[in-house]
């Protein structure tokens, strides 16, 4: 098995209301790569938020007493901390240079997923309001335009518990199940798998992150081609919720 990954090279800088579906279509046509059955289009969340004009103007925020207190603990700008609180259901942990929260979308991550990179001065981009909806709309448009069954995954860069370094993570998906449940299959020795579930969308997001980069690469859209398990995981009603661990199962927050 082999897969191919390539970035779309003609995605313009987006700083306001834009039709991402149309932009991606035109970039695919200009690059001449087309879309094939089973292709997976991975899109950086910052591009989605910027296109949907989902900006935070930090200077417009008036930090609360709690934001000022947490800013001192985390050594952060109180206005940024106020933005983090506004995008969160719960503050989970505070430490030097980080604030771990549960976002309004249900993700537990640093700084509520707010990004100050690749955006204008004084601005920040929160997570897309509904990444699953954005992924579905883009997938349906591209499927109609290219007459192929594909999947779309919205990605973010997040850290992980007990490990240094950030990786690409899926925060929205459409056309593919985010979890591959392999319970009941056999291993190489014939033993039946009892608990194995693979976070396939996260694995694909991490692979795409190698192409997207984190600095000035300018490749916010990556296509993965040749993923053999696409048809097994094909699901037009999918969303990212199956990867989110409910609080009652989260042994680290009990």
pLDDT at position 250:
82
Nearest to 41 by CA among 59, 60, 70, 21: 21
Residue 218 pLDDT level (bands cut at 50, 70, 90): confident
Pairing of strands 151-160, 163-176: antiparallel
Per DSSP, the three-state class of 235 is strand
Residue by residue, DSSP assigns 111-162 as GGG-B-SSS-TTEEB---TTHHHHHHHHHHHHHHHHT---EEEEEEEEEETT
Provide the 10 A C-beta neighbour count for residue 164.
6
Question: pLDDT averaged over the chain?
Answer: 91
Tell me the average pLDDT across 81-100. Answer: 93
Number of helices (H), then strands (E), in the chain: 7, 13
Residue 220 pLDDT level (bands cut at 50, 70, 90): very high
pLDDT above 80 (res 125):
yes
pLDDT at position 159:
87
Q: What percent of the chain has pLDDT over 90?
A: 69
Which stretch of 33-37, 112-116, 226-230 has the lowest confidence by average pLDDT?
A: 112-116
Structural domains in the chain, CATH included, are 4-54+128-245 (3.30.1330.100), 56-123 (3.90.1660.10)
Which stretch of 27-36, 189-198, 205-214 has the lowest confidence by average pLDDT?
A: 189-198
What six digits make up the tokens of 111? 């700084």
Nearest to 114 by CA among 106, 91, 103: 103
pLDDT at position 174:
98
What six digits make up the tokens of 83? 């933005």
pLDDT above 90 (res 118):
no
- Which tens digit of pLDDT belongs to each residue from 133-179? 999 999 999 999 999 999 999 999 998 888 888 899 999 999 999 99
pLDDT at position 121:
82
């Amino acid at each position: 098995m082999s897969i191919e990954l390539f970035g779309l090279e003609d995605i313009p800088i987006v700083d306001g209301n834009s039709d991402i579906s149309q932009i991606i279509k035109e970039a695919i046509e200009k690059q001449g790569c087309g879309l094939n059955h089973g292709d997976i289009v991975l899109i950086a969340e910052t591009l989605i938020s910027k296109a949907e004009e989902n900006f935070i103007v930090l200077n417009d925020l008036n930090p609360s007493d709690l934001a000022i207190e947490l800013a001192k603990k985390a050594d952060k700008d109180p206005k940024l901390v106020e933005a983090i609180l506004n995008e969160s259901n719960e503050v989970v942990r505070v430490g030097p240079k980080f604030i771990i929260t549960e976002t309004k979308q249900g993700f537990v991550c640093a700084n509520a997923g707010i990004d100050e990179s690749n955006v204008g001065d004084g601005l920040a981009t929160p997570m897309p309001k509904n990444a699953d909806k954005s992924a579905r709309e883009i997938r349906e448009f591209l499927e109609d335009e290219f007459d192929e069954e594909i999947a779309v995954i919205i990605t973010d860069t997040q850290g992980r518990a007990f490990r240094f370094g950030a990786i690409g993570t899926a925060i929205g998906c459409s056309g593919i199940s985010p979890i591959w449940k392999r319970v009941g299959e056999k291993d190489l020795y014939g033993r039946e798998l009892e608990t194995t579930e693979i976070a396939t969308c996260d694995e694909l997001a991490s692979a795409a992150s190698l192409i997207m980069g984190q600095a000035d690469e300018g490749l916010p859209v990556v296509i993965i081609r040749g993923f053999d398990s696409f048809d097994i995981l094909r699901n037009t009603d999918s969303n990212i919720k199956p990867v989110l661990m409910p609080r009652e199962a989260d042994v680290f927050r009990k």
